[in-house]
């Protein structure tokens, strides 16, 4: 067995090294071959590592990076799967890159972002000390089927690791249901009633009815989507009180958000360098995870305040006269959050929207009709021009037309080099909305011209 493990580790390291000198990302492929050689490799490597695993539909990457920031600040010896390689094979590669040839881990801690579908197999192997589930929204229905199915595979994953402490988003009635079905200890986080002075767009389409009995929920308040104070009048299933709660959002600006986080009864005012209500949720989840790992609230607060997002999530670039912000969008809930954020932008702006339909984006692009692009049309002329690109740019342009965006401000351009040249000529701030694979490609072109980092360097 030991020999198999060593052979798998050597193969994985070799493949990864080759991929790197050939300038391919090479995050998943080495792990895939290593697993063929030694199927329980991850179990063997992960047993001596204290892991925080993060899954859920939206906010995985940002939450993971926030936890990582706290680990770095605390001087812990840790590693993470930084480049979005969040399936089984990518996670294995990351573990192998952090172990010796003999299979001994060089780091004591890990922050692992885990795809929802992979949670089923990966959780049992990782045996994480803490599992964060951020939220569940419909996403890539062509891949996952229905959202209740996604919930089921996460549940199956958790059932294989009963010692893990769960940090659950109390405001998501789907996520919260994991608590009743698993023996694990639960730490709750969320956003209390009255925290938001102006709630975002409510959309209950995937969670209008009780996951337990089918009755229609009653809501005390909704922060956005279906996240809020839910209660089933029939079976009594209801939002749990939070251990880590956002009690007040003091200000929301383009440059950041100030909010009060109540950590087990102790109020902390935190200045996040991130915009968007969804990032306040990410911060609350990260705080719950960091504190559950035994680091102090002070460490969590300091990390949240110094954290700057990256890799396509509210990532800033020096482009054109006023700069650019890249905001990944993947599904209706995430897209609505980005569009809601744009409603708060006071100055006029231009946009680039790139819609792809590859496996990682979801092959079905129907969902763009569920997102509130109408809000761009009613932006009082603040949106002055929008370049539409990507494999499905024609569908995207049509969506904008039907949303009421004037056709004469919509430009179609498939060439990313030309788009970046266009961006360099802009006077106004540029908001870039790409789907996942479009983000990878467009970001690479942008990074090359602005001198940033490649993606596997994070």
Partner 1 sequence: MNFKICYMYPDVLSLYGDVGNVICLERRARWRGIDVSVTRMPIGSKESLSDFDFVFIGGGQDFEQQVLLEDLHSGRDREIISAVEDGVVFLTVCGGYQMLGEYYETFDGKRCGFIGALDLCTVGAKERMIGNIKFDCDSLGIGTVVGFENHSGRTQLGPGAEPLGRVLSGFGNNGEDGSEGAHYKNVFGTYSHGPVLPKNPAFADLILRTALERRYGSCELAPLDDTAELRAHKEMCDKL
Measured distance CA(75)–CA(89) in Å, rounded? 28
Residue closer to partner 1 by CB (options 399, 443) is 399
Residue closer to partner 1 by CB (options 148, 322) is 148
Residue closer to partner 1 by CB (options 18, 394) is 394
List 206, 243, 315, 361, residue binding partner 1 (CB under 8 A): 206
The answer to whether residues 357 and 393 touch, using CB atoms and an 8 Å cutoff, is: no
Measured distance CA(57)–CA(132) in Å, rounded? 12
17 is a site residue for partner 1 (CB under 8 A): no
Residue 309: name the closest of 263, 358, 365, 255 by CA.
Answer: 255
What number of other Cβ atoms are within 10 A of residue 306's Cβ?
13
The answer to whether residues 147 and 138 touch, using CB atoms and an 8 Å cutoff, is: yes
Q: Which stretch binds partner 1 (CB under 8 A): 48-56, 140-148, 269-277, 335-343?
A: 140-148
The answer to whether residues 40 and 95 touch, using CB atoms and an 8 Å cutoff, is: no
398 is a site residue for partner 1 (CB under 8 A): yes
Q: Which of residues 221-280 bind partner 1 (CB under 8 A)?
A: none
Residue 63, token pair as written in the block: 């939450």
181 is a site residue for partner 1 (CB under 8 A): no
What number of other Cβ atoms are within 10 A of residue 350's Cβ?
24
336 is a site residue for partner 1 (CB under 8 A): no
Residue closer to partner 1 by CB (options 154, 295) is 154
142 is a site residue for partner 1 (CB under 8 A): yes
397 is a site residue for partner 1 (CB under 8 A): yes
DSSP letter for 76, please: -
33 is a site residue for partner 1 (CB under 8 A): no
138 is a site residue for partner 1 (CB under 8 A): yes
Instruction: Tell the smallest beta-carbon distance from residue 264 to partner 1 (Å).
Output: 35
Residue closer to partner 1 by CB (options 214, 344) is 214
Residue closer to partner 1 by CB (options 156, 424) is 156
390: Cβ–Cβ under 8 A, 6 or more apart, which residues? 353, 354, 355, 356, 396, 414, 434, 435, 438
Residue closer to partner 1 by CB (options 206, 248) is 206
Q: Which of residues 338-377 bind partner 1 (CB under 8 A)?
A: 363-370
Measured distance CA(168)–CA(189) in Å, rounded? 6
Residue 346: name the closest of 254, 251, 410 by CA.
Answer: 254
Q: Which stretch binds partner 1 (CB under 8 A): 14-22, 82-90, 295-303, 394-402?
A: 394-402
List 145, 194, 233, 294, residue binding partner 1 (CB under 8 A): 145
Instruction: Tell the smallest beta-carbon distance from residue 151 to partner 1 (Å).
Output: 10
Report the DSSP beta bridge partners of residue 230: 219
216 is a site residue for partner 1 (CB under 8 A): yes
Cα R_g (the chain), whole angstroms: 22
Residues for the chain: how many in total? 458
Q: How far is CA 14 from CA 17, 19, 21, in A?
A: 5, 9, 11
Residue closer to partner 1 by CB (options 198, 364) is 364
Measured distance CA(186)–CA(199) in Å, rounded? 27
Instruction: Tell the smallest beta-carbon distance from residue 17 to partner 1 (Å).
Output: 37
Residue whose token pair is 């989840």? 285
Residue 21, token pair as written in the block: 């000198």
204 is a site residue for partner 1 (CB under 8 A): yes
Q: Which stretch binds partner 1 (CB under 8 A): 60-68, 76-84, 247-255, 399-407?
A: 399-407
Report the DSSP beta bridge partners of residue 245: 190, 262
Sheet (strand 165-169) strand order? 78-80, 109-113, 50-55, 130-133, 165-169, 186-191, 244-252, 257-263, 266-272
445 is a site residue for partner 1 (CB under 8 A): no
Query: Per-residue x/- marks for partner 1, 56-85, CB under 8 A?
Result: ------------------------------
Residue closer to partner 1 by CB (options 142, 454) is 142
List 25, 37, 76, 148, residue binding partner 1 (CB under 8 A): 148
List residues near partner 1 by CB under 8 A. 138, 141-142, 145-148, 204-206, 208-209, 214, 216, 363-370, 392, 394-395, 397-399, 401-403, 407
């Amino acid at each position: 067995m030991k020999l198999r493990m060593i052979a798998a580790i050597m193969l994985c390291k070799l493949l990864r090294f080759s991929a790197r000198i050939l300038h391919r990302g090479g995050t998943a492929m080495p792990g895939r071959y290593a697993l063929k050689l030694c199927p329980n490799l991850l179990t063997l490597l992960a047993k001596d590592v204290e892991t925080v695993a993060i899954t859920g539909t939206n906010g995985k990457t940002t939450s993971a990076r926030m936890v990582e920031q706290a680990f770095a600040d605390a001087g812990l010896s840790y590693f993470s799967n930084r480049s979005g390689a969040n399936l089984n094979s990518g996670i294995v590669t990351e573990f192998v890159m952090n172990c010796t040839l003999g299979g001994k881990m060089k780091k004591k801690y890990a922050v692992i972002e885990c795809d929802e579908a992979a949670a089923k197999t990966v959780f049992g192997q990782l045996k994480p000390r803490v599992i964060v589930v951020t939220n569940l929204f419909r996403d890539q229905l062509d891949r996952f089927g229905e959202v209740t199915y996604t919930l089921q595979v996460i549940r199956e994953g958790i059932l294989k690791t009963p010692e893990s402490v769960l940090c659950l988003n109390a405001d998501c009635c789907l996520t919260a249901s994991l608590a009743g079905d698993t023996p694990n200890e639960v730490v709750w986080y969320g956003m209390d009633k009255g925290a938001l002075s102006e709630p975002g767009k409510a959309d209950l389409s995937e969670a209008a009815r009780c996951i337990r009995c089918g009755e229609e929920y009653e809501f005390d308040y909704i922060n956005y989507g279906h996240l809020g104070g839910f209660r089933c009048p029939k079976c009594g299933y209801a939002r749990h009180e939070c251990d880590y709660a956002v009690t007040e959002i003091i200000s929301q600006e383009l440059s950041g958000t100030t909010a009060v986080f109540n950590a087990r009864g102790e109020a902390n005012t935190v200045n996040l360098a991130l915009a968007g209500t969804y990032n306040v949720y990410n911060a609350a989840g990260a705080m719950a995870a960091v504190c559950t790992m035994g680091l102090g609230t002070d460490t969590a607060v300091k990390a949240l305040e110094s954290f700057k997002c990256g890799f396509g999530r509210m990532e800033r670039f020096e482009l054109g006269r006023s700069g650019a912000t890249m905001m990944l969008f993947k599904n209706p809930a995430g897209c609505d959050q980005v569009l809601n954020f744009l409603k708060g932008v006071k100055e006029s702006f231009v946009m680039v929207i790139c819609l792809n339909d590859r496996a990682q984006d979801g092959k079905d692009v129907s969902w763009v009709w569920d997102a509130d692009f109408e809000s761009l049309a009613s932006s009082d002329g603040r949106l002055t021009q929008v370049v539409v690109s990507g494999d499905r740019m024609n569908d995207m342009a049509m969506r904008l037309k039907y949303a009421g965006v004037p056709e004469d401000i919509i430009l179609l351009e498939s060439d990313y080099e030309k788009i970046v040249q266009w961006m360099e000529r802009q006077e106004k701030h540029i908001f870039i909305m790409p789907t996942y694979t479009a983000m990878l490609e467009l970001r690479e072109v942008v990074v090359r011209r602005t001198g940033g980092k490649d993606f596997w360097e994070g």
